[in-house]
Amino acid sequence: MPPVDAEIMTETAYAKVNLALHVRERRADGYHALESLFVFADHGDRLEGEVTADGRLHLRIDGPFGAGLDTGADNLVIKAAHALQTHVGELRGATLRLTKNLPVASGIGGGSADAAASLRLLARLWGISVPMGDMARIALSLGSDVPACLSSVTQMVHGRGEILAQHPVEGLANRSMLLVNPGIGLSTAQVFAGWDRLDRGPLNVTSLDRLIAEGRNDLEAAARTAAPAITTVLDSLAQCDGVRLVRMSGSGATCFALFDAEKAMAAAARIISATHPQWWVAPTRIRDA
């Protein structure tokens, strides 16, 4: 157990949103080459922790989506902690508490964001400095989205997630964004299996207008087939006043809408919550960081 006066530190595992996701050719290593613009919401899971002297890692999970989640070695928070502990030869451990506010298997990087938050939090807790290249390699070993989640800033992502470049787009920072999930978890492998294998061309993110007009999510059709409720979510968002862009994030089932005004987003959130009380509805904004 940690000492009574142990300092508790916290990190937010920010929700990742693919404003566009273009799936290109299949690589020799079996992964698909992706092109995606990642943004991050202010909304996310919460991870807190304190140092222990026994070298062991303990995790408990609560929150609206915490029920039934594994707290053992297969949890990405613990995997990340073990990987960092091993890399630096850290002899201390930690007690961690994850408050799961994001739906599971929902296309907004919940597990990846949790893993990245674990790496950030434990580096602070243990007072260690890890070169960014080493941290990025640890992150990639945990999952394709984890490296981008380390910084949780707007960025272009290529390859399987290992090629990153910060890419602010005028008009995105602090923009109102509504996240909606119909209460369905989707397997990324299942959605990829249903993808039509067509390369429809590169992603242009030179402006918000080009992103809206020419961007797409190449996994959306397969996800709609696997979970028809996604179509209902997208249609509901598209009918809201003041909406600028409606699209699915990642492999689904979470969808998002961008708004020019916070007031319009708030109205949309109230309407959708009242019409579909079983859906997860999260009014938020794109992080300016």
HSE-CB for 102 with a 13 A CA cutoff:
30
**Minimal CA–CA distance to 181: which of 258, 63, 285, 102?**
102
Catalytic residue (choose from 45, 114, 145, 218): 145
**Minimal CA–CA distance to 226: which of 244, 210, 207, 248?**
248
Supply 163's token pair.
């090629």
Per-residue DSSP letters for 37-106? EEEEEEEEEEEEEEEESSS-EEEEEESTT-TT---STTSHHHHHHHHHHHHHT---EEEEEEE--SPSSS
Per-residue DSSP letters for 133-165? HHHHHHHHHH-TTHHHHHH-S-EEEEETTTEEE
Whether omega before 67 lies within 30 degrees of 0, making that bond cis, reads no
**Minimal CA–CA distance to 118: which of 162, 88, 78, 69?**
78
* Cβ count near 221 (within 10 Å): 16
Q: Rounded to an integer, what distance in angstroms lies between the CA atom of residue 281 and that of residue 205?
A: 27
HSE-CB for 122 with a 13 A CA cutoff:
36
HSE-CB for 46 with a 13 A CA cutoff:
9
The answer to whether 5 is a known catalytic residue is: no
The answer to whether 16 is a known catalytic residue is: yes
The helix-helix angle for 262-275 and 229-238 (nearest 10°) equals: 140
Catalytic residue (choose from 5, 16, 100, 196): 16
- Catalytic residue numbers? 16, 145
